[in-house]
Homo-oligomer: A and B are copies of this chain.
Amino acid sequence: MEITLAELAELVGGRLEGPPDRRLRGIKGIEEAGPEDLAFLANPRYAKALSHCRAGAVLVRPDQEVPPGLAVIRVEDPYLAYAKVLTLATRRPYQALGVHPMAFVHETAQVGAEVSIHPLAYVGPKAVIGDRVVLHSGVHVGEGAQIGDDTVLHPNVTVYHGCKVGRRCIIHAGTVIGADGYGFVPEGDRHFKIPQVGIVQIDDDVELGALNTIDRAATGRTWIQRGVKTDNMVHVAHNCVVGENTLLVAQVGISGSTKIGRNVVIGGQAGLAGHITVGDRARLAGGTGVIKSVEPGAELGGVPAMPYRLWLRTASLVRRLPELFRRVARLEARLGVDQ
């Protein structure tokens, strides 16, 4: 990266107070930054570090007081501005590798322009690979599956037959898209498999962490909507819908046919029953066990789920149960009541 303060201010949509043609080359923490580095101050608690800051410029909030002589770029959200500059600074220009001779691409597959299909990737019959798609080693794109433009599948990702992944998606290593949903009918003591003939549809701008499993639908689709971001080891069962921009933190499990709204946040290791709905903007704390539908905007915790504040309160009272049993026994003794 080499960029002027004027260019930086334009990039982040900020107001520059400092020399527009000063050139920066790096991004560092506010304590470590030198005259050629950009720093940022997102949390006002650390404002006193500005007094001895040597950075070439600092991203600060619009109302931040700063010592004289320190160049700043004022933005509504310095952390977001930092992320944007860091993205620019660390982005490597895309270079298309083409289809490596040690990759397997079936003769009936359609492959877009400027792809990078690395050695030991597999593209099955009638699969459709968009432009600038990157498939790393060990990736499996099954028969008739579709991968949208500019999407990256990291090593050892599996996309089963017929599933669709949108544009600009990032799927981390080992994730499995489109394995059969878990569906059986009892037949005496045994279990008869219900064919899972639906697909998984993943919309644009989705990022899935490593070792996720998104199961194919029994019929129809399991649907991950635009802008969803999952952490590692997230399990989404067949016929679920995960709404736009929803966040699923590590090790969350969602049972079949459950519909999650938009901009929901589900904390790590939470588990959701099947056939329920979670309303838009609900927030579920880590470890929450959800067995019935959740209202939009609700904040829940605990097993089974309850309002988050009630959960905190009951959690502290559970620790005091030994005391409560003693107090009740004392009252009983006072009144001469047998337990």
Contacts and interface: CB of A to CB of B under 8 A. Distances in A.
A104 B83 CA distance: 35
Given A80-B187, A209-B182, A321 B328 contact: no
A64 to B, nearest CB: 18
A179 to B, nearest CB: 4
Contacts of A215: 210, 232
Contacts of A158: 138, 154-156, 173-174, 210
A165 interface: no
A122 interface: yes
B156 A156 contact: yes
The quantity of this chain's copies bound in the complex is 3
A314 B138 CA distance: 49
Contacts of A77: 185, 187
A51 interface: no
B185 A179 contact: no
A317 B304 CA distance: 12
B303 A314 contact: no
Interface string A138-153: 1010100000000000
B330 A331 contact: no
A16 to B, nearest CB: 21
Interface stretch (A66-74, A108-116, A126-134, A243-251): A243-251
Given A122-B118, A140-B173, A315 B324 contact: no
Q: Sorted from nearest, which 10 A-B pairs have the closest CB atoms?
A: A122-B137, A140-B155, A104-B119, A158-B173, A179-B210, A213-B232, A317-B321, A176-B210, A182-B231, A172-B179
27 contacts: A79-B185, A83-B192, A86-B197, A102-B104, A104-B120, A138-B158, A158-B210, A191-B227, A191-B229, A191-B247, A193-B229, A211-B213, A213-B232, A232-B235, A233-B233, A233-B235, A235-B250, A237-B250, A251-B271, A253-B269, A313-B321, A314-B319, A314-B321, A314-B322, A327-B328, A331-B332, A331-B335
Interface of A: 77, 79-80, 83-84, 86-87, 90-91, 102, 104, 118-120, 122, 136-138, 140, 142, 154-156, 158, 160, 170, 172-174, 176, 179-180, 182, 184-187, 189-195, 197, 205, 207, 209-211, 213, 215, 227, 229, 231-233, 235, 237, 244-245, 247, 249-251, 253, 255, 262-263, 268-269, 271, 273, 286-287, 289, 303-304, 306, 310, 313-315, 317-322, 324-325, 327-328, 330-332, 334-335, 337, 339
